[in-house]
Amino acid sequence: MAVTDADFAAPIVTAAAEVAHAVSARVLFAYVNAVDDLANLQAAVKPPTKLIVVCRDPDEEQRARELSIAYLSVPAFDLSRMGQIKMATLIAFSQQLLKAGDVFVFLSGVVGHGIDTLVTMRVGEEYELFQSVGQPQLTEHIRRPVFEKLLRIALELAHEGREGKPVGALFVLGDHREVLRCSLPGRINPFKGYTEKQRNILDDTMVESVKEIAKLDGAFILKGNGVILAACATLRPAVAGEILPQGLGARHAAAAGITATTKSIAITLSESTGDVRVWRRGAMITEIEKAPRALVDPTSPAALKKP
């Protein structure tokens, strides 16, 4: 007899609650769209673990509110299993739902096909996600909402492109004086003449302009509070970052170099693959991969939004 998605997911959900209790996990995360019985999961999670469900649209948020379950809102993108986990965990980290030393459990799976993945991690020990733990905190010179907003914009560009075509992008955030010293201005500055309030990335009216300008070559340079200082800039860091993984080009080398030279964070979007990477102190913190085409559910919200 064929095993259904629900039959496959049920023991994983039960095991997740047991693992979370056994390791005293601070949080158990689960994507709402992958859990058939949220009330059952809620009942299974015991203190000190807190259940936080990950929501991709307002309907899922409403479902969480009806059960009085804490939730984390993320963009509705088709990502690989680990891509889903990395994106949600970075957003949770930026909102201080996780901190250094925390243990957490994550339930995920292919969108539209239920849970099939259980991951347990300790913040600060998992190389890909939290290599930056122990470095200066993001709040030292970078507002966490700004980092999250840039991450979301990069992910939106990865999945929407512009005019049906993929684009690449590079955002450098924080330590702006040193970053500007290590850069050359572009031939044009699209933000010249605008007030700081008008060119703050936290202003939703600025998002479409940023996406349009991203089609041009060069980097965006931003203050830690979200004010865009320059676009189309050429980065000339004094030193190089770590040796890059094979296949990464000039944009990624610039991100590694500028974060090795300054106390900044860089976010890159690869034009060829659509993968989003976060860089700090000359190294890649994490890589959020798009889902292979074979894993994309054609009825998912993200698939339906694609041009």
Q: How confident is the model at residue 130 (pLDDT cuts 50, 70, 90)?
A: very low
Pair (100, 153) in one structural domain: no
CA dist., res. 15 & res. 11, Å (int): 6
In a domain, 158, yes or no: yes
Structure tokens at 168: 């690449």
Pair (196, 244) in one structural domain: yes
Note down the domain range covering 123: 5-130
The per-residue pLDDT of the chain, averaged, comes to: 82
Full-model pTM: 0.81
Among 130, 163, 180, the domain-final residue is 130
CA dist., res. 161 & res. 269, Å (int): 11
pLDDT value, residue 90: 85
Pair (122, 205) in one structural domain: no
In a domain, 298, yes or no: no
Pair (150, 276) in one structural domain: yes
In the predicted structure, residue 135 carries a pLDDT above the cut 50: no
CA distances for 151 relative to 170, 214, 287, angstroms: 11, 14, 12
pLDDT tens-digit readout, 1-40: 444 555 667 788 889 999 999 999 999 999 988 887 888 8
Q: For the ranges 23-27, 192-196, 211-215, 297-301, which has the lowest average pLDDT? A: 297-301
In the predicted structure, residue 257 carries a pLDDT above the cut 90: yes
The number of folded domains in the chain is 2
Pair (119, 147) in one structural domain: no
Residue 204 burial by Cβ neighbours in a 10 Å radius (0-12, 13-18, 19+): exposed
In a domain, 200, yes or no: yes
In a domain, 244, yes or no: yes
pLDDT value, residue 4: 57
DSSP H stretches of helix in 45-175: 58-66, 81-94, 127-130, 144-160
Pair (43, 77) in one structural domain: yes
pLDDT tens-digit readout, 262-274: 989 999 999 888 8
In a domain, 174, yes or no: yes
pLDDT tens-digit readout, 69-85: 999 999 887 788 888 88
DSSP character for 56? S
pLDDT value, residue 7: 63
Across the range 95-124, mean pLDDT stands at: 82
Pair (195, 233) in one structural domain: yes
CB 115 within 8 A of CB 35: yes
Nearest-10 crossing angle of helices 81-94, 144-160: 150
Q: For the ranges 13-27, 102-116, 121-135, 150-164, which has the lowest average pLDDT? A: 121-135
CATH code for the domain of 83: 3.40.1380.20
Residue 49 one-letter amino acid: T
pLDDT value, residue 238: 75
Among 130, 163, 195, the domain-final residue is 130
Residue 293 one-letter amino acid: R
In the predicted structure, residue 131 carries a pLDDT above the cut 80: no
Among 99, 130, 161, the domain-final residue is 130
